[in-house]
Amino acid sequence: MPGSAGEHRQTDQAGRAASVAGPAVVAPAERGATRIADRVVTKVAAQAAREALGPLSPDAASPQATVVVRSPAPGPPRAGEPPAETANVRVVVELDYPCDIGGRCRAVRRRVAERVGALTGMDVYEVAVRVERLHLAPAHGRTQ
Q: How do the pLDDT tens digits run along the chain, 144 residues long?
A: 554 554 455 555 666 655 555 677 888 767 777 788 899 999 999 999 999 999 877 888 889 998 988 877 666 655 555 557 899 999 999 999 999 999 999 999 999 999 999 999 899 999 999 999 998 877 654 444
Q: What would be the CATH architecture of the domain defined by 36-71+83-136? A: 2-Layer Sandwich (3.30)
| Sequence spans of domains, the chain | 36-71+83-136
Handedness of CA 116, 42, 48, 33 (dihedral sign): negative
Read off the amino acid at residue 65: A
